[in-house]
Amino acid sequence: MPDLPNNHPAEEQLYGRVSELIELARRKVITSVNTTMVTTYFEIGRLIVEHEQQGKERAAYGKETLKNLSQLLTASFGKGFSVDNLERMRSFYQTYGSQISATPSRKSEISAATQLQKPNFKLSWSHYIKLMRIANPEERRFYEIESIENNWSLKELQRQFDSALYERLALSRDKEQVKQLAEKGQQLQQPQDVIKDPYVLEFLGLKEEAAFSESKLENHIIDELQHFLLELGKGFAFVGRQVRFTFDEKHFRVDLVFYNRFLRCFVLLDLKIGEVSHQDLGQMQMYVNYYDRFVKTDDENSTIGIILCKEKNNALVEITLPKENNQIFASKYQTFLPSKEELKAVLNESTETEE
């Protein structure tokens, strides 16, 4: 804040409120400009497609048409109308044009064109260029919803796609729940909904072949807490690290404690650089029981415990935990981006097994 002449508190408060108002107005202008630009590109794509569909002759010379159109638009309006960009606008309409539906007009004099309900674009043009490259419509719709709801930047969208978020969530869901991912995005209604397997921690900068301790892993997570919260998912707030509690004159520490505002519960994380053991699972069960009995309030839901481990034996985890377990989970982590092809193969195998 700049220095005020006489440094009056009331004037400083006025300056602060006016500044917030101006910043808000500027953000709205930027959002409005982006929305208008994306909608305009959609309409340009529609005009190009309709022009090409008027006859085989025009479709055959589509490339030449775009070249001529690009030259005319560039001469009149400057950059932004290259042949490649015009082709993207055409693809944009072809991808999202199916979302248009006719709606009745209250005024008969309004033309038929204005009676069309166009998609409500809420992301930047750069976001949609990235989304159009996703071939699977359900996967594309999932990332669009998540980008809007979580206000992902283009960089965050790219990172979530590269880390195969859709496939990782789909692996822990049945076919109906996978369909809901495409229709509603990630919905947090039960503890299982927050779990990923694996968690991808490539942003920590820990090389896969390098040896590191659990304390080093924890330190790197704290250093990259913003990225780690993004990887955890929706609604997570950081509570503390090495959170101590005392029971029966013995001291215990939970590596990382979070709170999820959607599930309204504590989420405890224990870090293991090796394979998870039945002792680790038993220890987490004790942590969860303590929080449920002595920390959480009556109106909060049961605590969730997640052991992040380098390796796990699914059979051991299953036989150690209660049959109807919905509180304790063991998930692998990896310090490199996964292969989307490998995850898709696993997803296809699990789908075939269900059938």
Measured between alpha carbons, how far is 88 from 128 in angstroms, rounded to an integer? 10
**Residue for token pair 């590269």:** 162
> Residue 223: which pLDDT band, with cuts at 50, 70 and 90?
very high
Give mean pLDDT, residues 17-34. 72
What amino acid occupies position 347? L
Q: What is the DSSP string of 312-325?
A: --HHHHHHHS-TT-
Interval 180-185 mean pLDDT: 79
CATH topology for the 199-336 domain: Trna Endonuclease; Chain: A, domain 1 (3.40.1350)
**From residue 232, how far is each of 99, 180, 243, 305 by CA, in Å?**
31, 20, 19, 13
Q: Quick one: the chain helix, strand, coil %, rounded to 5?
A: 55, 15, 30
Residue 188 confidence (pLDDT): 82
Residue 324 has pLDDT above 70, yes or no: yes
- Give the pLDDT score at 107: 40
Q: Which phi and psi angles does 309 have, rounded to 5°?
A: -130, 160
What is the mean pLDDT of the segment spanning 54-74?
75
55-59, 161-165, 226-230, 324-328 — which is least confidently predicted?
A: 55-59
Least confident segment among 25-29, 161-165, 323-327, 347-351: 347-351
**Scanning the structure block, which residue is given the tokens 């397997």?**
197
Confidence of residue 157 (pLDDT cuts 50, 70, 90): very high
- In this predicted model, what pLDDT tens digit does every residue of 287-321 receive, in sequence order? 999 999 999 999 999 999 999 999 999 999 999 99
Sequence letter at residue 293: R
Q: Where are the beta strands (DSSP E) in the chain?
A: 101-102, 116-117, 199-200, 236-247, 250-260, 265-275, 304-311, 328-334
What pLDDT is stored for residue 6 in this prediction? 59
236 closest CA partner among 202, 196, 203, 273: 196
pLDDT beyond 70 at 111: no
pLDDT of residue 302: 96
Lowest model confidence (mean pLDDT) among 2-16, 34-48, 201-215, 287-301: 2-16
Of the candidate ranges 50-64, 83-97, 284-298, the one whose mean pLDDT is the lowest: 50-64
Q: How far apart are CA 206 and CA 336, in angstroms?
A: 8
pLDDT, residue 11, reads 65
57 burial level (CB within 10 Å; 0-12, 13-18, 19+): exposed
38 within 8 A of 124, measured Cβ to Cβ: yes
Q: Would you state the pLDDT for residue 26? A: 72
Confidence of residue 108 (pLDDT cuts 50, 70, 90): very low
Q: 3-class DSSP state for residue 279? A: helix
Q: What is the mean pLDDT of residues 83-104?
A: 78
Place of tokens 């015009």: 86
pLDDT of res. 207: 72
| Euclidean distance between CA atoms 35 and 140, whole angstroms | 19
Max Cα-Cα span within the chain = 86
Cis peptide leading into residue 5 (ω within 30°): no
| Mean pLDDT, rounded, for 194-206 | 89
**DSSP code of residue 7:** -
Q: Where are the domains of the chain?
A: 9-101+113-117, 134-194+338-355, 199-336
Contact 310, 274 (CB under 8 A): yes
CA distance 242 to 257: 8
Answer for the pair 186, 193: CB distance below 8 angstroms, yes or no.
Answer: yes
> Worst-scoring range by mean pLDDT, 30-39, 70-79, 284-293?
30-39
Position 118 scores a pLDDT of 61
CA-to-CA dists, residue 79 to 32, 44, 96, 213, 295, angstroms:
20, 15, 24, 52, 59
Tokens 């002449």, residue located: 5
pLDDT for the residue numbered 19? 75
At 250-273, the pLDDT tens digits run: 999 999 999 999 999 999 999 999
Which range, of 63-72, 97-106, 177-186, 246-255, averages the lowest pLDDT?
A: 97-106
Quote the tokens at residue 140: 């594309």
pTM over 0.75: no
Chain mean pLDDT for the chain? 83
Tokens at 271, concatenated = 């870090």
More confident residue, 230 or 173: 230
Give CA–CA dist 28/343, Å, rounded: 39
Contact predicate 182/141, CB 8 Å? yes
Dist CA 254 CA 247 (whole Å): 13
**Model confidence pLDDT, tens digit, residues 118-151:** 668 889 999 999 999 999 999 999 999 999 988 8
d(CA 88, CA 182): 23
The pLDDT assigned to 280 comes to 95
Instruction: Inform me whether the pLDDT recorded for 110 exceeds 50.
Output: no
